[in-house]
């Protein structure tokens, strides 16, 4: 406490302004952090699915899933495919994952991949239509609230 009684420290942190400046700065920092983290928008969040979820689209998606996705995500989408253990992060379990993300987010993940997880970008191999068919397959098979 002896160091606090020095006049130059007491002026800076005493009851006449130092505390108010500190509190104002701290509140400003908190507001900045809240605003900056609130501005993060998940890729694809506002992207609408242009492909109607028809039986044909879901069937196309099923064939694409079997050929391209099941090796990591498993035949039932539980994230337990034969390659799952070789990846840096476990593949998504669609039964618990798909219901919580809109179609546009699923499309963005299929399109661009997910960095650091082993999920590749499929845009070089699959057309936009094929990727939307995959989204329709995922929604139809792993989202109990989805209507056909």
Q: DSSP readout, 8-39? A: HHHHHHSTTTHHHHHHHHHHHHHHHHHHHHHT
Specify the CATH number for the domain of residue 134. 1.10.760.10
- 63 is a domain residue: yes
- 28 is a domain residue: yes
> Which pTM value belongs to this model?
0.72
- pLDDT tens digits for range 129-145: 999 999 999 999 999 88
Q: Residue 71 burial by CB count (10 A; 0-12/13-18/19+): exposed, middle or buried?
A: middle
Mean pLDDT of the chain: 86
- Count of Cβ atoms closer than 10 Å to residue 110 Cβ: 25
Instruction: Answer yes or no: do 83 and 133 share one domain.
Output: yes
The CA angle 71-72-74, to the nearest 5 degrees, is 70
Across 104-116, average pLDDT: 95
- Give the pLDDT score at 43: 79
Q: Which domain holds residue 24?
A: 2-38
- 147 is a domain residue: no
Instruction: Answer yes or no: do 135 and 92 share one domain.
Output: yes
The CA angle 113-116-117, to the nearest 5 degrees, is 65
Instruction: Answer yes or no: do 91 and 29 share one domain.
Output: no
Instruction: Answer yes or no: do 83 and 138 share one domain.
Output: yes
- Give the pLDDT score at 105: 96
Instruction: Answer yes or no: do 29 and 61 share one domain.
Output: no
Residue 100 has pLDDT above 90, yes or no: yes
Count of structural domains, the chain: 2
- Give the pLDDT score at 24: 77
- Give the pLDDT score at 79: 95
C-alpha–C-alpha distance, residues 50 and 37, integer Å: 30
- 91 is a domain residue: yes
Angle between helices 128-142 and 55-68 (to 10 degrees): 100
Across 11-17, average pLDDT: 54
């Amino acid at each position: 406490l002896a160091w606090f009684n020095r006049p130059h420290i007491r002026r800076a942190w005493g009851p006449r302004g130092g505390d108010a400046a500190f509190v104002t700065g701290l509140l400003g920092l908190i507001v900045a952090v809240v605003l900056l983290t609130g501005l993060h928008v998940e890729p694809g969040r506002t992207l609408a699915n242009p492909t109607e979820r028809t039986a044909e689209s879901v069937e196309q998606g099923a064939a694409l899933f079997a050929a391209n996705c099941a090796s990591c995500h498993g035949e039932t989408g539980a994230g337990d495919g034969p390659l799952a253990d070789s990846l840096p992060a476990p593949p998504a379990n669609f039964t618990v994952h798909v219901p919580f993300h809109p179609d546009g987010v699923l499309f963005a993940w299929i399109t661009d991949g997910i960095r650091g997880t082993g999920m590749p970008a499929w845009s070089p191999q699959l057309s936009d239509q094929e990727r939307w068919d995959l989204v329709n397959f995922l929604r139809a098979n792993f989202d109990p609230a989805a209507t056909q």
